Structure 1
Amino acid sequence: MTQAFSPNKHPMPRTARPLLTAMLLLSLAGLAPATPEKAAKFYEDALQRYEKGDLEGATIQLKNTIQQDNKMLAAHLLLGKVLLKVGELKGAEAAFEEALKQGVSRNEVAIPLGQLYLLLGERKKLLDELTVQSLLPALQPEVLTLRGTAYAMSGNITLATKSFSDAKALDPRSASPFIAEALMYLRAGERDKAKASASRATELGADKPAAWYTLGTVLYAMQDYKGSATAQEKALALDKKHIDARVGHAFALLSLGREKEASTDLALLKEWEVSDPRASYMRALLATRAGDAAAAKTNYAEAVDQIDALPPGLVAGDEPLMMAGALSHHALGNLEKAREYLRTILTLNPKHYVGQMLLASIAVQSKDFTLAVPILETMLRNNPDDTQALYMMGSIQLARKRYPQASELFERAAAKSNSADAVRELGFSQLGLGLDKQGLSNLEKAYAANPADTRSGVQLALTFARQGQSAKALQIAETIVKREPDNLTMINFLGNVRGRIGDKAGARAAFQQVLAKDPAFRPAGINLSWLDIEERRFDEARTRLTQMLTRMKDDPDVLFELGTLELRAGRPAEALRQWQKADDVQRQDPRPGLAMIDYYSSQRQVDKALETAKMLAGKQPSKFAVQLALGRAYLAAGESTNARLSLQEATRLAEFDADKQVAIGRMQLMAGGIDQASYNVQKALQAKPDDLQALVLQTEIEGRRGDAAKIDAALKTLQAKHPGTVPTLLTTGHVAFSRGQFAAAQLAYRAAMDKAPETSVVLLLVQAQIAGGETDKALQSLESWTKKRPDDKLSLRALAEVQLQAGKMDQARKSFAQVVALEPDNASTVAAYAALLQRLNDAGAVAAAEKAVKLAPNDAEVNDVMGWILLQRGDKEGGLRFLREARLRNPTSGEIRLHLAYALAKSGRKAEARDELAAAQSSPVKPQPAEELARARRELGL
């Protein structure tokens, strides 16, 4: 016994299920036409039953609710919670996923869904879908703990430790991360650390049964059976039906020889109808000790059947389950099955003493003496400080051709070699690291030493062309072709060089020369088609590429070019079809997948872009462009943690390319990775010490950190290196604004606007004017700008909002009406217009809000506007319905929660209203203005 197992701590009695099914069928029969009002009544009854512990009744009423209104988010969410409590795990998962699909915020389901995934053994799914970014701060420690548990059960101790550490930092008084950490250490064989964590958990959570159960589990592993029994008794004193503690207590008593007392625990579990393989195993042990072979066999078989029926992912992460399975299979003579469980155990915990001993016993029985080899490999992989483990890991990496390690070995070899080939390879390596000067020097040395070395010549020509040294690039390419006039590859290469330096006519002549000699020469055909696409000669390119496919069906390069052609020709559906085919038939070229991601992103199809990026990264994880695209897709989907991980890998792959490092750094900053962004800047500045964008980013990073002296130093460097440029002026304005120096910020933004008259710069100037208390000036700026650009929707919207803020209601109404006329199908704009009309007590507010809801029925803010307007107009039930929807879709909004608190109080649900009001006060996005909270407390009597 070394770990908790609780897939069905309080399962519903089997006899209750047919009755429940019959009741559900009866309750759903003969219903009147469905209406939201009936659904609301069923839901309120279900909620009350749930609060009283009547889970079966709550389930029935929730089914009735969904029958009436399948779009009610609250019903799907509560159904998931009820089903999770009664042990209907798949049903709970379906309910939660439906809630998310319909728009419930992940804040509402994060913790129960994470617990559910662990119970189902779906650790990867938990890690992929449950991240702390965008979650409420109060939820983050528990979610980090769940993620740490998933990492630990997957064998990734490093990430698990980090997750637990992050959880403890966010909530130092929580026992949960210490509990999970203790079990992780126990699986890793670090029992002293496990005991320390478990003991700390009992100090922080003396009233938590799970803390005492965990300590008891650790003490049992340390063979302190008496201490284990005592700890489990403390857990049971807090919750006598804590299944894991009851099982742990029985194990401890058995080990102490107190078999009669252990039998009492096992009898209670049977009385409660708990199906637990560990209990079956202990009953088999007791039967064996009593000499009852038949009963022992029955119980061993029962244990095996229970374990084998569980999801493989769950069993693979639960050490006591696997040990019970291995021991039971061994007792029944199923040696191969026992071997499978033990291999899994030793994969997760190579120090597991009993597992090693049992596996050794099985190996002797089956005469499989080579079984020690994989065990040893696993042990070495899990102990990185061991000298043999380091050696073997290095060997495995070399056998798997791990490129970073291979590159390192190659650089060492090149440094010790005096041959032209070694110098050439050193040059390639240095170019890969971004050390162009040194790399070119070595390539020129190698080429001079051996002019017949085409590899050196080609790389030199390409590098010179990339750097804009056209004459040198062309000279080398022509020299190679003169030396090898019949080499079609080199003639095609010459065409590429001409194309790179802008000589399209020369490039076309070279490609046509190749095809005249060999019409089937594929690279030249693709290159010539690319030139046609660039010049919009679509029919010629399509004909050529289609003919090429007759020679080689499903050629990925040709399919990719066809996709590019079709997109340029305005046929996106056909472009996607060609790119998908190109991606399906190969696993080397990321271009088709990247093209699909770019297209979906351009169309704001975030889910499709992320799905495509994940699939591409699964096939081609070592490509820079792939990791960057994956990071961008994660960011667009709001998954910042996963974005940072992808960008971290992209950083490694980008090496010393300054532009790439700055691009990654900006994305890291967007994802909250300040230290990672700083590292990107340093790598960029190593390659280009005066790079403008790197210096701008460096200033922004110091601004995010808040160290005034470092901000000034970074800004001073930027201004000295790039005085008067638009990026420098904007950055200067940002720094002044952040310090409350609004006049200075205005000067900088105005100077930038003079050089780059753009809406984004005007809005920065207006923001500084408003912050400086000069609303009239801000209005003048916007009025002047919108007169010149009457169709600029962004500036018109800003004008309306500033007019509203200044109390100029009629003017704001007119400006908003202009924006609505320009974008009548923009739900956000229509909703804002409805809110303005409500403030003006205009009867058209409801109609405008209804239009906004029709345009965006799943938008939280739009639902909030609709609900708040209805509430203010006396429709309490309608208002409450829309405000519940809004809150479930965006629980981080204090404004929405404040509105819901009003609605609940008006409906007589004062306790729930208090909870919502408290949540509104602690929300990341607090209500504005703040005095609304004080007024709410007074009006609601809270």
Structure 2
Amino acid sequence: MTSSPRQSSQALSIIASIGLNRYWQKRMLVLVSLLCVLAAAPLGADETGLGKARGFFDEGNYSAAEIELKNLLQADPNLAEARLLLAQLYLRSGEGAAAEKELRRALEIGADPSALRFDLIEAKLQQQKFAEVLQSLEAAALPEQERARALALRGRAHMGLEETQAAEDAFSAAVALDPSQRDAGAGLVQLALLDGDIDGADAASARLREQYPQDPDIMLLRAEVERRAERPEAAVALYGEVLELEPENLRALLGRATTLVSLERFDDARTDLEQVDAIQPNIVIASYLRGVMAFYDRDWDTAGEHLQRVLSARPAHVQSQLLMGIVSYARDDLQLAEEYLSRINTAMPGNPQAAKVLAATRLKLREPERAVAVLEPIAKDADPQIMALLGSAYMLAGDQQQGQQWLSRAVETAPDVAALRTQLALTLIAGGDMGGAINELESAVDLGQEVLQADVLLVLAKLKEQRYDEAITASEALEQRRPDSAVAFNLTGLALLAQGELDAARAKFETALELDSEFSTALINLARVEVANEDLDAAEAQYQRALTQSPKNLAALLGMAAIAELRDDDAGIVAWLNKAQDANAAAAQPGLLLSRYYIDRGEHLKALTAANDLAARFPDNVDALEMLGRAQTLADEPASAIRTFEQILEKRPDDPRVHYLKGGAEWKSDELDAARRSFERAIELKPDFVDARVALASVLVAADKEAAAAQIARGLQDDYPDQPLGYRLEGTVQMSARKPESAVGPLRKALELAPSAELVRQLAEAYARADRPDDAIALLQDWGGRQPNDFGSQAMLAMLMHGEGMTDRALPIYERLYAAGQNNILVLNNLAWILHERGDERALEIAGKAYELDPNRPEVADTYGWILFNTGERDRGLSILQQAHLAYPTQTEIAYHTAWALSDVGRGSEALPILRRLLREHPNAEQADEAQALLDKLGDGAG
């Protein structure tokens, strides 16, 4: 009997070479090792049915032979020769389990065990039962003439166990016993291929071919050598010769299809694969090859479907995992790409292709530190592309120096590659070196390699520098070079839009759409033109056009949310942001915007819910974690916020903003020392971090360290002498230290530098608390003459006058504020009181409005209750006064009014304890004399 090669993991050997350029233009060279199955020796039976089956077998028509043999066995299950021929058929087809089953049935009906010994071993080899094969051969007492064959089989078992030295020893011993031993010769060729000794395999397989010129298995082995020697056309011809002898030889069909794929002859490969499906459907290698072809065609969905079938059958298939990772990256399914590519990087840590795509995935996920971890081990003497990726990762991680160094090395290594200069320009832009970025982009454009990204970035960089004319010149030059490019006209439109030339910009965007009706970017830019024209309906129509073309378009969905915001449509904002989030699961931006929306509106619990969901979906995304920490702080979960910020600092220990945010959470937790240290660290990392300096001063004030806080304020005055911040901060610190006179000077200076209503009121308060009411009133009057609609300052002026006894001057201001619809409770309350004192009937209505706004405010309840009582609604007025007194028993005016009202309705006994308590606990109160008089009147002069 003849034998077949191992059917182990080495039955499929694939080498994939992938470049990480913009369009995955470097194609994959797919190499599948298809090892030989040796031919079956003929059986001697001559019955009509059996002879017919043998004829089909000899012609290579295995499916017809199988049908004939199964029919024979159905009629006579004990037909040994039919069962043995069926076993040979299965061995030829690589179906070891089926072959072993038929051989054992043959033994049961009387076949000679010694004659079938090697066929059973062949069947076990095909099932990868390598250790069992070695044990059975070890135990067998073989005649001398069979030892060479047995050694060849042992060699194949050792190969299956990847024991290459033992395999070589066995094959060499077999050849020494019998130089014509074909299996051993083939095994030595296979070992040479595994060792990369292509020349040795070439010579040895050529000798075997001379010995066995028409042996299909030797022809298959020779074809594999031709392919590995980069002679694919010769391999295709050899596979064709095998198929002429055996039209249904699956190994030949798959081998030829694989080679045709490497030659990008996809139609021919598909023809072979269709024939494979007809013979034996659902073969894993066929699915893999179809996935590779779809990958070449950039049909990501189809590629993913085929590769998923491979991985369902062979979860550990490295090449399919690699391709699936790349396909997932291309489909922007970044979490899935990360999963597959991480496995490959672990299994093949030195593989540059896997590392490139994994790093690119992590950069898209905004995990630059993890991208650095992948690239750094292979960066030394790496290709420029890896250097550029590593540079980008460092830049995103905040290490601009390292980032620019690696990108500069990449450009030095490949100075004529425009794409690398473009990538260096990106990092220079991120680092704020716009001039250097523009120089690199201009160099990239001058190289003439049609790297469109360089042109795009050059225009955008000049727009950011507000060099609008230069931007238009650059984009128009691109229009001349690429008159059929929608991108070029879109860029010019952007430049014109930035200049405010809305009609000209619209014309460019429309030209872009004429060139490419599905260019959604131009539609979105047209929408921006309409927003600038304040035509929200037209803008919405453009966004809807973009969404009709691409329902998941993130920019269009976010644009609709922005329109809803311009329309004050809160429900619409939330709905569109949720839709954007649902449609773009890999994008964090919608969740970030939704969380920020709730924060801006003070809906902190909703913000926390949105941020928790975002962080759960992007657990390693620093922006998502930062938003979660902010929401936790605002939602009164400062302890959780501190832990979140500490988690970020594990990734970015030198991020000043995160230290600042952590300090805010610690401050809210009353951990003043910890907050101070966090703010100090933020300032240490970024000395010009103004917000952190102000926050540190505020913490010092809270810790009763006003002198240190004032020193910070003076430092800001020195650093920013033309800005009000330092002076205003010093004024605030002095007010907190109860030194209003010391606050006046810096607040006045701040007001001179940048007049504002807030500063006017703050300075007026300092004057008032420094016992300088006249200065406060004069300041507010002067400001009111210049800003008559600053109702907050007018209210403060009226209350100051009222407090100083200037009721006649305060009253017209109160009335003007009331007429203007101001619902300031204190203004309404004070106006009602003055009008009541003057017998004006409007007092009751105005007091009622104040009470509706805040019935729990003591002075408001007192005013309303007192006016009600004195204008005829005595029961209701007394009830409100009593409720207010119960809520605020230490308010002496409410106590006196309640006691007086009780006495006036004949309930003096209830008034007595109220009056006694007032006089006992507040003997110097403004109402003390009146309370004593009322007490005396009620007959309790002893108090």
Instruction: Tell me which structure has the larger Cα radius of gyration.
Output: 2
By relative contact order (CA 8 Å, sep 6+), the higher-ranking structure is 1
**Length-normalised TM-score, structure 1:** 0.46
**Length-normalised TM-score, structure 2:** 0.46
